[in-house]
Structures are given as C-alpha cells and as structure tokens.
Amino acid sequence: MGYANSLYLTSAEIGLSITGLVLLLVTAWTGRGAARIITIAAAAALFGALVFTAFMMDDTMRGLAGYAFGDLFRVDAFSSLSKILIYIATIACLVLTPHYFDRRGEYRGEYPVLMLFSAVGMGMMVSATNLMTLYIGLEMSSLASYVLASFARSDSRSSEAGLKYFVLGGLASGIILYGISLVYGFSGTTSYDGIRLAFDTQFNTGAVFGVVFVLAGVAFKVAAVPFHMWTPDVYEGAPTPVTTFFASAPKVAAVAMLVRLAFEPFGGQSGSWQQIVIFAALASIVVGALGAIGQQNLKRLLAYSSINNVGFILIGLAAATPQGASAVLVYLAIYVFMTLGSFAALLILRDPEGDKLTSFADIAGLATRSPALAWCLLALMFSLAGIPPLFGFWGKFVVFQAAVQADMLALAAIGIAASVIGAFYYIKFVKVMFFDEPGEVRSFSAPVGHWAVLALSVLVVSPLGYLLTPWLGRMADAAGLTLFAIP
C-alpha cells in the first residue's frame, strides 16, 4: 500500500521519465525525421502531467499532503502550484522551438527529450523534502540544461554559453554539496523535518556556514546578485528558445526550491539568513536595473531584467511569513507569462531571410511596420515595469504588501524607489518602437504557435489578468500556509 501510494504521488514524474526514455529510443532509430512528432509527443506528456497535477491541487489546497518513499518526496499545494507553472512554461518553450532550429537545419529529437528530463528534475526539486532528493533533482535538471545551452553546435556563441553555464553551474553544485555536507554533519540527518528539529535544539557556527553555503549555491541557480555573473552571457549566447526556457521553468523551480529550503529545514533560524536575502534582493534590483540601462542587445537586456525581477521575488522571501511565500508564487506566476511573451516577441523579430533581430536598432519604428507586435511588446514591457493597470503591477504590489505586513517598511520603501530605475529601460522600448524613425522595411512572419504564445501572454498580463487574482490568490495562500504547517 505504501509503495502504491508513493507511485501514485509521483505519477507525473514517472510518466515523464518513461515518455522521455521511449522518445529517446525513437529518436535514436529515426534520426531527425521524427523530431516534430517527438516534440508533439513530449508536449502531450507534459500536458498530461499538468492535468494530473492540477487534479491533485484540489486535495493539496485543503491542507492534505502526500508523502512518498519515506518522506523523501512530498506532494502538497506548494509543489503542485510550482509544477503547474513549470509544465506550462516548458510546453510553451516546446511550441516556440522547432521553427527556430528548422531554419538552421539543427533540430533533433533529443531536444524535447532533454526538456522532459529537465522537467522531471525540476519536479523533484520543488517536491524534495530531503537534501539528497533535492540534489538529485537539481543535477538532473542542470545536466539537461548544459546540453540545451550549447545545442546549436554550429554557433560558437552557443558553445561558449554552454561551457560557461557548465563551469559555473558545476561550481554552484559543488557549493551546494559542500553546504549539504556541513548541514548533515551538524544535524545528523538530511531530512528537512529532522534538520529543523536539530537546529531548533542546537544551532552553532558550523551550522550557520552550512546554511549559508546551501543558500548561496541556490542563489546562483536563481541568478541573484552577487551570483548573477553568468546570466547575461548565457542568455545572449544560448539559442533564443533555450534562453526562453532558462528564464521561465528553471527559474520557477529554483525559486520554489529556495523558498522551501528557507521555510522548512531552515525556517526556525530565519534570523541567520534573512539579512542575506534582504541584501541579495536589494542588490539584484539595483544591479539588474543599472546593468540593463546601457544594453543595446535585447536578450542581454532581458537577462538583466530577469536579475531585477529576482530581487522583487526575494523581497517576498525576506518577509519570512506565509504571506511572503504566497506573494512569491503570485509574482512567479505573472513573471512566467511576461517572460514567455517577451521572448516569443524576440523570436518573431526576424527579417525575410530568417536572420534574428536582437538590437534596439532592429525595432526602431516597429509600430509602423508591425503594429500588433509593437503593441504586444509595449504591454509586456509596461507589465515588467509594474505599471498599472497591467497585471505585472499586482506582482510587485503583493511582495511589497508582504514586506509591509512583516514590519519591513524600509525594505519595501527602498524596493519601490529602486523599481523606478527599472522603468527607464522598459520605457526605452516604447520610445524606440513608437517614436524613432523606422530603418529598413522588414516583414515579420512567424508560425502560428509563436503568435499564440505571445497573444496568450499579453492577454494574461493585460488588465483582464486581474480576473485571475481570486483563483491565483487562493492557491498561492494555500501553498504558502503549507510550508508553515510542517512541524
């Protein structure tokens, strides 16, 4: 009965793993010819996992948690909501990918298979309640990501991005593993509940170092300052669909993993990490905003925008309250759609020969050449800037509200003031698209899938997105309370 229940709770991960193995054999037998069919099968498997996870969300929102394999893996409202966002982002990335690589003649069936295995690893990361489970999931996701970053083998920048990501990712994994060894040494266990119990009893200097090392390694995965140095180069060099993936699904998984770590095993010692998170939050907001101001490459600018948005997410974590955890999930949900829409627009920006357009000069006067694309980008940029009435404003509002409710008025005030800096480079998009003289006339043609992802993203971040707030808020509140219900 115990194993049957464990297998049921991990059905999404098991199903994706089996699908990935089968599709790996298929692509080995068929070569490139079946790449699109394999992509459709992978997207269908992810959609099935999404439906199954959404079905389980009803039970988990009532405070019920399922424990699998001796509490190595937990299915609760927090993990379910995080997985829903991960699966949505991964499906969207699969929709955006084939056309990009087909034009270069480099699309292969291994690509969607790697995405599936990465999704399995991310699912393990957000459901892990043991440091060993966490590390296995983290490495499974990371190893797939290293290959994806260098998937365009004919592009030297892609190879460079993959190498940089591999070297720095390996360093971060080593830091996490060293922190895990210290935590285990001073707590005698790798179980989250056991660690919390041990640290509530005794929390010495060695344990502090363990906690700091683990959180520092995870901070690299979320690209928080001062562990952000890899982000602009990898985002620019990696193929644009891969960059879209890095900025969405793995970001959700890494932030969710960080939040669970902070509130469950290390929740009783929030004073030891709260100041670090506050510094990382404010530094990420400022560095991300200032770094983006001088950028002319749109992908590098969105990389700094990602760093900037991580800062706002960390404000919710710094609150160290159920409201803060809920605010993090709300922000992540909105951020996923803003990111997917922004990169979908970049993928549509191509000249008639299929060459990508990635600089501000390429979008000069875009409103006269492609009004629909220009207005979509305007909505997405204003939403990223947090300008009402767009839905991105709500994400910033809830994290600042959580900080105020936690009596962190100074943190909220500084965050609000720093967010004004970021508005500059988002408004620059509007100035260039609507007021600059258009350059060479180009036509922007893209598959229906690209426009569908862009349209859906714009619809969510538009004022219509506020219709989702009761449903999203209820799920996020249930997920936040789940983390604080663990003894």
- The helix/strand/coil state of 266 is coil
pLDDT tens for residues 434-461?
887 776 545 566 788 888 999 999 999 9
Residue 243 pLDDT > 60, yes or no? yes
Domain of residue 8: give its range.
Answer: 2-484
Confidence check: pLDDT of 65 > 80: no
The per-residue pLDDT for 136 is 92
pLDDT at position 1 is 45
Q: Is a pLDDT exceeding 90 seen at residue 416?
A: no
Could you tell me if 289 and 308 are in contact, meaning their C-beta atoms sit under 8 angstroms apart? yes
Question: What integer pLDDT is reported at residue 115 of this predicted model?
Answer: 92
What residues have CB less than 8 Å from 237, skipping those under 6 apart?
Answer: 149, 155, 157, 158, 160, 161, 164
**Average pLDDT of 277-306?**
87
Angle at 64 between CA 62 and CA 67, to 5 degrees: 160
- Whether 120 has a pLDDT exceeding 90, the answer reads yes
pLDDT higher than 50, residue 263: yes
- The alpha-carbon radius of gyration of the chain (Å, integer) is 21
**Of 18, 231, 39, 48, which is closest to residue 145 (Cα–Cα)?**
231
Q: Which of 150-164, 190-204, 327-341, 467-481 has the highest mean pLDDT?
A: 327-341
For residue range 29-59, what is the model confidence (pLDDT) as tens digits? Answer: 887 778 889 989 999 999 999 999 988 877 6
Mean pLDDT rounded to a whole number for the chain: 85
Please tell me the total count of domains within the chain. 1
Give the number of other CB atoms < 10 A from CB of residue 431.
Answer: 11
* Residue 419 CA neighbour count, 13 Å, CB half: 26
Residue-wise pLDDT tens digits, 187-201: 888 898 888 888 888
pLDDT attached to residue 440: 59
